[in-house]
Structure 1
Amino acid sequence: MNLLKRLGKWTAVIVVLVAIGLVGGGMMLSPAFTVTRSVLVNAPPEKVYAFVADPRGWKQWSVWNQRDPAMAITYSGPASGAGAAWAWQSRGEGDGKMTITSVEPGRRVAFDLEIAGVDARSRGELRFTPEGDGTRVSWTMDGNMGGNPLYRWFAYFADPLMGPDFEGGRANLKTVAERS
């Protein structure tokens, strides 16, 4: 019995130290993050832009839609461009909303991203730059996770967590734009 009491005390001490480490370490981390990926698409900028400026176009190339084809999506605002928005509900991908905030036709699409249950907003942008006979698509997402020390850990690991989704999305966008 004495051994069990000691193990219980050591377990409690370890749990407390880990919690202090997570909170303390999180407070020292920057709340800001940026993730960027790019790809060369063999299509003109206007063609690639069309798949991004219209929220319905994202369904054709977004990895999130591919992982959950049953995702419930609601569109609002104009069909495309600034103000166009879509909200989703998904058991596997979570719930959220993306709203296009500004566009430069054929050049860029900027948007705000809100994830349900996370008290932080992210901003994203896709830029379309002519390169040779194609288009360089650069996708950037940046955000600020605020004062929550546990959210700051997400900011610290944002690139390895979100990067693979960006890579899948850019590959899908390339495929869709080049074949249409």
Structure 2
Amino acid sequence: MQFLLILLLLFIVIGLLLPQSYNVTKSININANTHIVKPLITDFSQWHKWSPWKKLDPSVELSLGEPSTGVGAHQSWQSKWGAGEMTTTALSANKMVLNILFAQEHIIAAKVIFTQNAKTVTVTFQITGQATLPLVSGYVAVLSEHILSNAVSLGLNNLKTVAQLSDAQTIMENHGSQNRTSKN
């Protein structure tokens, strides 16, 4: 019994010493133009094409708000793991800023940065959050950082595939229309 009490006390002390905040930054280079990539991210109605969450948690039920794009765009979800909502708070030519709320108390700030290079666009997701559960926030922060890091990497890889296929299809369609001859 005394051993279990010591383990519990040790668990609590370690949890209190762990950082309660977390940061995830992931980038990917996509062989497509920004005008192909950006709408896949800035329009919540396009997220189903690349977002990993439905595969990671099949119980997720998404609800899109109106509008689905631009400042004020809103998306919410419900799953066996809880509920949440995401709102676009700022949008510019090269950046999107999001506020994410989990379980009505866990606030996450996210930025998506678009950097156009010669033939590629670099997409960078930056996520910062802070766990707020008494006594276990440190553990929640470590777990959240791990889960979000893996999910963002998966999402960026999915985004790259979808964007590059869309860009290739656009190029093929444009090339095909230029090669067509009209009969008079």
Shift of 1:69: 4.9
- Cross-structure match for 1:159: 145
The CA distance in 2 between the partners of 1:132 and 1:23, in whole Å, is: 52
Distance 1:121 1:13 in 2: 38
Give the CA deviation at 1:97: 1.0
Residue aligning to 2:92: 104
The reply on whether 1:66 has 2:52 as its aligned counterpart is no
User: 2-side partners of 1:23 and 1:82: how far apart?
Assistant: 41
Task: Give the aligned residue type for 2:2.
Answer: V
How far apart are residue 100 of structure 1 and its match? 1.1
**1:13 correspondence with 2:2:** yes
Shift of 1:80: 0.3
Per-residue Cα deviation, 1:75-112 (whole angstroms, up to 9, x for no partner): 12322011111111123x5321111111113x111111
Matched, 1:149 2:135: yes
SS of the equivalent of 2:101 reads: strand
CA positional deviation for 1:160:
2.7
1:177 to 159, 163, 170: 163
Which shifted more, 162-171 or 142-151? 142-151
| Cα shift at 1:161 | 2.6
Match of 2:12, SS state, is helix
Partner of 1:122: 108
Do 1:145 and 1:152's aligned partners in 2 also have CA atoms closer than 8 Å? yes
SS at match of 1:78: coil
Change (3 A) 1:146 1:89: closer
1:118-165: CA deviations, max 9, x gaps? Answer: x32111111110123110111111012246231222223443332111
Q: Is the Cα contact below 8 Å between 1:70 and 1:90 reproduced in 2?
A: yes
| Structure 1 Cα separation of the partners of residues 3 and 90 of structure 2 | 49
Partner Cα distance (1:110, 1:140) in 2: 10
Secondary structure at 1:86's aligned position in 2?
A: strand
Alignment-derived partner of residue 46 in structure 1 = 35
Of 23, 32, 36 in structure 1, the residue corresponding to residue 21 of structure 2 is 32
In the alignment, is residue 95 of structure 1 matched against residue 65 of structure 2? Answer: no
Residues 83 and 174 of structure 1: CA distance in aligned 2, closer, same or farther (over 3 Å): same
The SS at the match of 1:161 is helix
1:138 and 2:124 matched: yes
- Residues 49 and 24 (structure 1 numbering): CA distance in 2 closer, same or farther, change over 3 Å? same
TM-score for both structures, normalised by structure 1: 0.83
Contact 1:27–1:147 at 8 Å: present in 2 too?
A: no
Deviating above 4 A after TM superposition, structure 1's stretches of 4 or more consecutive aligned residues are none
Q: Which stretch of structure 1 is more off in the superposition, 41-50 or 143-152?
A: 143-152
C-alpha distance in 1 between matches for 2:67 and 2:32? 25
